[in-house]
Amino acid sequence: MTPRQLLESRFAALSHVDYAAVYASYHADAPFLQNFSDCAAYVAFAEQQLNAVQVRSWRALRRRSLAAAREEHLLLMELAVDGVGQYFYELALLIKTTAGWRYHSAQKLGQEDYPGDPEQIDFCHFDQAPQKIIY
């Protein structure tokens, strides 16, 4: 599976409310997984917290290689909560394992963090963000 295929499968799983597939896409060392004892715990959380979130669209805008088997992908997402849409930007770290590429962690920016043209966002906007919340 290529990094692009991993991202496509994650967004397809989110769109189809397949939270077990989202959980399976995480890297074993992903900080996010420290909050969940197993897949069932994550699915229960996601069903409560993500049910109102709809993925309207997403695009991978740019990528950069960090080192062997590590890439960052800059993503543009349009999400809707209770029918109200908003753009979010994500800088996702993907790591290649023996089982293929896995999602490790990400930094997010909202429209309030980057109010410019969505197509013009770049890595520097994440690098310069005053608060780097990475999950």
Q: How far is residue 28's CA from residue 104's CA, in Å, rounded to a whole number?
A: 8
Mean pLDDT of 56-84: 93
Residue 8 has pLDDT above 80, yes or no: yes
pLDDT in tens, 23-64: 999 999 999 999 998 999 999 999 998 888 888 999 999 999
Q: How far is residue 126's CA from residue 115's CA, in Å, rounded to a whole number?
A: 13
The token pair at 52 is: 């109102």
Residue 100 has pLDDT above 80, yes or no: yes
pTM for the complete prediction?
0.92
Task: Collect all residues with Cβ–Cβ distance below 8 Å to 135 and sequence separation of at least 6.
Answer: 31, 32, 105, 106, 108
| Fold assignment, 3-127 | Nuclear Transport Factor 2; Chain: A, (3.10.450)
CA angle 7, 9, 11 (to 5 degrees): 70
Confidence of residue 6 (pLDDT cuts 50, 70, 90): very high
Domain boundaries, given as residue ranges, for the chain = 3-127
The token pair at 125 is: 């906007």
